[in-house]
Structure 1
Amino acid sequence: MTLQIPDDVNLFDEMVRQAKARPKKVIIEDLSNALTYNKFLIAVNIMSRKINEVVKNEDRVGIFLPNVVAQVIVLFSLFKNEQKPCILNFTMGTQNIIDCMETASLKTVLTSKEFIKKADLGYTLEEMEKQVKIIYLEDLRDGISAFHKVSGLIESRVSRFKKRETSEVILFTSGTESKPKGVVLTHRNIFANIKQVFAHIEVKETDRIFNPLPLFHSFGMTVGSILPLVTNVKVFLYPSPLSYREIPKAIHKDKSTLFVATNTFFSNYAKFATKEQFQTLRIVVAGAEKLKDDVRETYKNKFGITILEGYGATETSPIISLNTHQHYKEGTVGQLIPLMEAKIAKVEGVEEGGNLLLKGPNVMKGYLIHGKGFVPCGEWYNTGDIAQIDQDGFIHLIARLKRFAKIAGEMISLNKVEELALECFGESAFYTVSIPDKRKGEQIVMFTTKSKISSREFKKFIKSKKMSMLYMPSSIDYVDEIPLLGSGKPNYWALENLAKNK
């Protein structure tokens, strides 16, 4: 049977369909709330009415909230109102957040007093208030009258089904090279990606998703916040992926079966978790950065878990490919999910693989560019990733096109330098960047959290592999910890600045 994606999808309608079929099922939970479908629907009905009272005619509305149930209620409330949520990344830094608000022409942002205080974002909020109106959820909650409650309850019981217009969600790129871009995803893009995943890997209604990834992270949004509500799969939202000791305990308590994180996060969870705490996990997926061999082996040997490496991008809602237990090839990011097509475009100077281009129903509508407005996506989305696709259809990611250094006219993969360091020293605690060099064009600087690393030993190892000495970093510098982006990826931009300012 061919997978069919309807043209007109509103994610609120899809949630209502499930809620009416299973009103008493607990579907979403965080550290302080657990809501059945019915309670969630009533909360959305009330919140959508309150939002409508304060931002009635605004097409786009900003969300600046942590990974808790209230945030998902706000998200679905905007879906119901046929408004476009613009999800702001609170880890981006004040200027980038201001840039995002300008890019999306926001007039109003919804946030929480408690969150601003806990996250120490007072200064950021002061700067935001110079540009937009800030509305606190606490104030909306205090203004909920008996009328709101009764009408919300009645609305949840009325079986008449309103067909809503399909709408959009806007996420933002990290803005490390220029001002952040808004990624415009339609409800159909997101719904298609959910359907594609269900056709690719067996997710059951009895599964329990554990999601520590924030809503501004496209995986945290699609798989961790929307998929559960529109497919009847329970989710536990954890406010921060950085709670390395507490998350294994929370997974054990929830009896979670599906868990997604990045290589960096998996590496840290493994330091504190026991085999018993992870025993209920059935599907464990790594994405956003390359899964390192030592982390893969740790999970196999310590927990008996095969981490399934996948690949995605904000622009593809986000999932592109995924290994499954039935179709698995170590060192790859799996096969394309259904309805996606790929082609490889040759890149001058890159010997192995080429630029990966994609199309499919989950590919974004286009970008919002600061100062320019909306720019539609072409027929093929250019990932900027250098990849190969083998005869079995498995994708081998080689590097970001931007993760190459041009040294003495040769293209050197920075990922390959990190892999060589892992092989030489037995740990994935190495991160490389390139900076300008007057003599050779560019030079490689490596950072490590491992003390007492011998440059001589690494040079000897590269020679023993019969590889060019252009792979040898000009310096190997020790740092206490590697800066991370909110998504859990290493912040190479911060490391690059560190290397330039040495």
Structure 2
Amino acid sequence: MVSLLSLKGNPVNVTGEENIVSPGFYMPNRLSVAVGKALHKLLDGKVCYLVDPTFPPHPEVMEYLTKKKVHIEYFDFRKTTSRAVREQILDQMNQGNSVVFLPGLVSKTRGCHADVPSPFLRHVGSLHISPVPVFVGYYTDTVKDLFRSEPLAGYSEELSILPQLHPGPQTGERLLSAWLQRSAELFSARPLLLGSLTTALVKSMRANPKKEIIDGMTHASLPFFKVLGVSMTVAKLLKERGDKRVGVILPPGAGGTIATLSCLLAGATPVLINYASSKAAFESTVRQAGLKTFITARKFMQKLDTFPWPPAEQLIIVEDLLKNLDKKALIANVLMAKAAPAAVICKMFDTDARRNNDEAVMLFTSGSSGEPKGVVLSHRMLLANVAQCASRIPLGDEKFLASLPIFHSFGLTVTMLLPLLTGYSYCAYPNPTDARSLCELCKRYELTVVCATPTFARAMLRRADAETFKAVNYFIVGAEKLQPDLEKEFQERCGVTLLEGYGLTEASPVCAVNMPNAEMIAGSAFYVPGLIPRTIGVPLPGIAVRITDVDDDSRELPLTEQGMIWFKGANVFTGYVGKSEMNPSIFKDGWFKTGDIGKMDLNGFITLGGRLSRFSKIGGEMVPHEGVEQVLTDIFNVDPAAEGGVQIAITGVTDPQKGEALVLLSALKEHQRSSEEKLILQNVRTALAERQMPTLWAPKYIVPVEAIPILPTGKLDLRNCKLLAEEALASLL
């Protein structure tokens, strides 16, 4: 049941009135004046408020309560025992009053899930009184400000009374879990997410026509209105061809943006191709997506002469396309993109015909066998993730660096769609490994948002000076583990704090990120941190987290215990394309199993403990151990059925340069001499190249062993394989 309380201030939407317990102990995650009034009214005014004077609530809230002459119980949790506070609460409840904990004003970063610092959640757990969780959030229907953690005029304020928690330990963890789940439900229900990504792009680019895409190689720039106008012209040609899906083989920049937007306007799904993939992986991608048409550029083809390009008749070459465009039509479309109402353009291309859960973009991620798995990112998913990022990152007058490939979900969502949908310019460069050029671009254009893998960031650090990142507000790293030495050196040499985040292609991709800490509030001794080193940050607004036993998906653990991480949110996909048999093992009641092990603290920060699945993240790319083993079995001419059982195995170890490194455990006689290791590894690299396999699949080390560890079931003993490698290489790691 939802009721709208027309009180002074913003409207307050109330849900969960059936969960009201009288008298009860209520724990809101935050409280505004309008929500405070609504909650007071819902509880019929029979309320006592619990306040810590060292953590004072908003003055307007206190002013309202003073006028109402309500009873306030004061406590200082640092000085008062849990038993004394428990007695205070129970005394009021015995008198028929509900007790509401009042969160105080707290230093916090944008998009935090609660204004309640972790010490208070720990304290609540020691009271042994089952609380009624109350979730409060503030929402609009704009991509840039869909959710806020503090109210502003014109926002809808949501007040949700959640079911009372059962008695038991770890109350703080269960409160946090309840808040996160309700946050995800409310975020997912926003009308904006029912809409069209294409419509949102047209509206934003029309609203910000002079923002531009800068070519980091030529230093030419193309304003958004011209990008839109060219895309409109190309879209009409694509529509005539009638392809449902179109392959895009282009780097980040105006070309990649125009190709992607043209497909969307034409009602086709852009399939962003990994141009670093092997021939087998590319052919699998083409087959699974049913591709017959590809957009690319001649200059790009010349640079990728080893890529298994499709037949010429299937290629749309950008240079030829632009040369042969109807110039009058192009000029007309550019003028329309600059001056016509967005609604007119949207109607012309019927952009709302594909929306919500319809296909928007298709990417491919590696499977356990090395075969790519198709992931459809819907309009809803991409709108949600861009809005989640914008709700977490305090965007001001920003300018982005876009060097990550758009076939990488982070490059697509964060460095292309985010600036397009929120109205920011970006500088694109096709090679994320060209550290010298990237540093020059950061300095020349005073770029403020930089996204990279730690491997790429380390390379940039070698080329940077004190002025390189002077304008940078946010240097976000992900896709592999951030090493402490890199974090420290960046801070000392450049004055830049690296902000570690985490994402998955299946989640569009960003799930969590650190942000710089906010300034302390005068008079308050508490704060909710924005950054905790060695963590991947807090979940973005609208993402719920669950932890389960690694060996039993049905056994839920407290958030603070290490286990398998699951996510739920509007940004999460619904299953792999053409691989329905995989979906039951990765989905449970709407929750997605990430394959990562970790835990969360009471401030919401997630610490990863490792990967359960047999992959290594190297340079931001997923490398499947089983796929490498299959190739090496062929290279070494190993007979899997031969006497002696398994002879080789791949495992991963920590690598200070690239996050992880592959290690070949070998029981083969020819691998037992260390003097031959370099030659063997070189031969492996040569053999991989001959088979057109990625160079990342080459092991960095060989560890000779007497026997490969095997479980009684006949499967590899992954834990002991890893231990063997770590022990053998301890002096090198």
Mapping for residues 302-321 of structure 1, pairs under 5 Å: 302-321=493-512
8 Å CA contact retained: 1:210, 1:259: yes
1:28 Cα deviation from its structure 2 partner: 4.9
The aligned residue for residue 536 of structure 2 is 333
Report the Cα distance in structure 1 between the residues aligned to 2:233 and 2:540, rounded to whole angstroms: 37
The aligned residue for residue 200 of structure 1 is 392
Report the Cα distance in structure 2 between the residues aligned to 1:317 and 1:307, rounded to whole angstroms: 22
Counterpart AA for 2:545: A
Report the Cα distance in structure 2 between the residues aligned to 1:393 and 1:169, rounded to whole angstroms: 31
8 Å CA contact retained: 1:322, 1:336: yes
Counterpart AA for 2:274: N
Long gaps (5+) in structure 2: 1-137, 140-146, 148-186, 518-529, 616-624, 626-649, 686-693, 705-733
CA distances 1:422-456 after superposition (whole Å, capped 9, x unpaired): 8xxxx6578444556679xxxxx9x9xxxx9xxxx
Matched, 1:358 2:562: no
Report the Cα distance in structure 2 between the residues aligned to 1:252 and 1:23, rounded to whole angstroms: 25
8 Å CA contact retained: 2:382, 2:413: yes
Give the secondary structure class of the aligned counterpart of 2:308. Answer: helix
Counterpart AA for 2:369: E
* Compared CA separation, residues 178 and 289, structure 1 to 2 (3 A): same
1:102 Cα deviation from its structure 2 partner: 0.5
8 Å CA contact retained: 1:23, 1:38: yes
1:255 Cα deviation from its structure 2 partner: 0.5
Q: Aligned residue pairs: how many?
A: 438
Matched, 1:129 2:311: yes
Report the Cα distance in structure 2 between the residues aligned to 1:381 and 1:476, rounded to whole angstroms: 42
Match of 2:699 among 474, 482, 495: 495
Mapping for residues 188-267 of structure 1, pairs under 5 Å: 188-204=380-396, 206-267=397-458
Match of 1:398 among 597, 601, 609: 609
Give the secondary structure class of the aligned counterpart of 1:299. Answer: helix
The aligned residue for residue 362 of structure 2 is 170
1:228 Cα deviation from its structure 2 partner: 1.1
Report the Cα distance in structure 1 between the residues aligned to 2:703 and 2:229, rounded to whole angstroms: 53
Task: Note the aligned Cα RMSD (angstroms).
Answer: 3.5
Counterpart AA for 2:323: D
Report the Cα distance in structure 1 between the residues aligned to 2:264 and 2:508, rounded to whole angstroms: 16
The aligned residue for residue 268 of structure 2 is 83
1:175 Cα deviation from its structure 2 partner: 4.4
Range with greater deviation from structure 2 (28-37 or 209-218): 28-37
CA distances 1:55-108 after superposition (whole Å, capped 9, x unpaired): 2x2211111112221110110111111211111100012221111010111121
The aligned residue for residue 577 of structure 2 is 368
Give the secondary structure class of the aligned counterpart of 1:275. Answer: coil
1:498 Cα deviation from its structure 2 partner: 7.2
Range with greater deviation from structure 2 (95-104 or 2-11): 2-11
1:20 Cα deviation from its structure 2 partner: 2.6
1:139 Cα deviation from its structure 2 partner: 2.2
Match of 1:158 among 331, 334, 340: 340
* Compared CA separation, residues 399 and 185, structure 1 to 2 (3 A): same
Match of 2:593 among 360, 382, 388: 382
Matched, 1:96 2:281: yes
Give the secondary structure class of the aligned counterpart of 2:366. Answer: coil
8 Å CA contact retained: 2:253, 2:402: no
1:279 Cα deviation from its structure 2 partner: 0.8
1:497 Cα deviation from its structure 2 partner: 10
* Compared CA separation, residues 301 and 340, structure 1 to 2 (3 A): same
8 Å CA contact retained: 1:96, 1:175: no
Give the secondary structure class of the aligned counterpart of 1:367. Answer: coil
Match of 1:25 among 172, 186, 211: 211
Give the secondary structure class of the aligned counterpart of 2:613. Answer: helix
8 Å CA contact retained: 1:45, 1:77: yes
Match of 1:143 among 306, 324, 339: 324
Mapping for residues 446-485 of structure 1, pairs under 5 Å: none
CA distances 1:305-356 after superposition (whole Å, capped 9, x unpaired): 110100001111110001111211010000111111111121249x982111
8 Å CA contact retained: 1:288, 1:312: yes
Give the secondary structure class of the aligned counterpart of 1:277. Answer: coil
Report the Cα distance in structure 1 between the residues aligned to 2:440 and 2:263, rounded to whole angstroms: 33
CA distances 1:239-266 after superposition (whole Å, capped 9, x unpaired): 1011022211111001000101011111
The aligned residue for residue 725 of structure 2 is none
Report the Cα distance in structure 2 between the residues aligned to 1:354 and 1:438, rounded to whole angstroms: 33
* Compared CA separation, residues 71 and 477, structure 1 to 2 (3 A): same
* Compared CA separation, residues 329 and 38, structure 1 to 2 (3 A): same
The aligned residue for residue 48 of structure 1 is 235
* Compared CA separation, residues 23 and 67, structure 1 to 2 (3 A): closer
Report the Cα distance in structure 2 between the residues aligned to 1:52 and 1:339, rounded to whole angstroms: 35
Report the Cα distance in structure 1 between the residues aligned to 2:329 and 2:251, rounded to whole angstroms: 25
1:153 Cα deviation from its structure 2 partner: 3.2
1:390 Cα deviation from its structure 2 partner: 1.6
Report the Cα distance in structure 1 between the residues aligned to 2:203 and 2:429, rounded to whole angstroms: 26
Range with greater deviation from structure 2 (163-172 or 386-395): 163-172
The aligned residue for residue 107 of structure 1 is 292
8 Å CA contact retained: 2:363, 2:409: yes
1:43 Cα deviation from its structure 2 partner: 1.3
1:119 Cα deviation from its structure 2 partner: 2.2
* Compared CA separation, residues 104 and 496, structure 1 to 2 (3 A): farther
Report the Cα distance in structure 2 between the residues aligned to 1:151 and 1:373, rounded to whole angstroms: 49
Report the Cα distance in structure 2 between the residues aligned to 1:497 and 1:373, rounded to whole angstroms: 35
Give the secondary structure class of the aligned counterpart of 1:31. Answer: coil
1:138 Cα deviation from its structure 2 partner: 2.0
Report the Cα distance in structure 1 between the residues aligned to 2:664 and 2:255, rounded to whole angstroms: 43
Matched, 1:182 2:374: yes
Counterpart AA for 1:134: L
* Compared CA separation, residues 202 and 478, structure 1 to 2 (3 A): farther
8 Å CA contact retained: 1:369, 1:375: no
Decide which structure has the larger Cα Rg and report it.
Answer: 2
Report the Cα distance in structure 2 between the residues aligned to 1:238 and 1:133, rounded to whole angstroms: 26
Report the Cα distance in structure 2 between the residues aligned to 1:195 and 1:322, rounded to whole angstroms: 14
Report the Cα distance in structure 2 between the residues aligned to 1:387 and 1:432, rounded to whole angstroms: 21
8 Å CA contact retained: 2:663, 2:699: no
Counterpart AA for 2:547: I
Report the Cα distance in structure 2 between the residues aligned to 1:145 and 1:136, rounded to whole angstroms: 16
Give the secondary structure class of the aligned counterpart of 2:577. Answer: strand
1:154 Cα deviation from its structure 2 partner: 5.1
8 Å CA contact retained: 1:103, 1:373: no
Report the Cα distance in structure 1 between the residues aligned to 2:678 and 2:340, rounded to whole angstroms: 65
Give the secondary structure class of the aligned counterpart of 2:699. Answer: helix
8 Å CA contact retained: 1:108, 1:135: yes
1:479 Cα deviation from its structure 2 partner: 7.8
Report the Cα distance in structure 1 between the residues aligned to 2:531 and 2:224, rounded to whole angstroms: 35
Q: Determine what percentage of the aligned residue pairs are the same residue.
A: 29
* Compared CA separation, residues 346 and 118, structure 1 to 2 (3 A): same
8 Å CA contact retained: 1:341, 1:359: yes
1:143 Cα deviation from its structure 2 partner: 1.6
Report the Cα distance in structure 1 between the residues aligned to 2:662 and 2:302, rounded to whole angstroms: 35
The aligned residue for residue 463 of structure 1 is none
Report the Cα distance in structure 1 between the residues aligned to 2:196 and 2:658, rounded to whole angstroms: 44
* Compared CA separation, residues 393 and 22, structure 1 to 2 (3 A): closer
Mapping for residues 342-357 of structure 1, pairs under 5 Å: 342-348=545-551, 353-357=562-566
CA distances 1:403-424 after superposition (whole Å, capped 9, x unpaired): 599xxxxxxx977x53xxx8xx
Report the Cα distance in structure 2 between the residues aligned to 1:360 and 1:146, rounded to whole angstroms: 45
Report the Cα distance in structure 2 between the residues aligned to 1:430 and 1:319, rounded to whole angstroms: 19
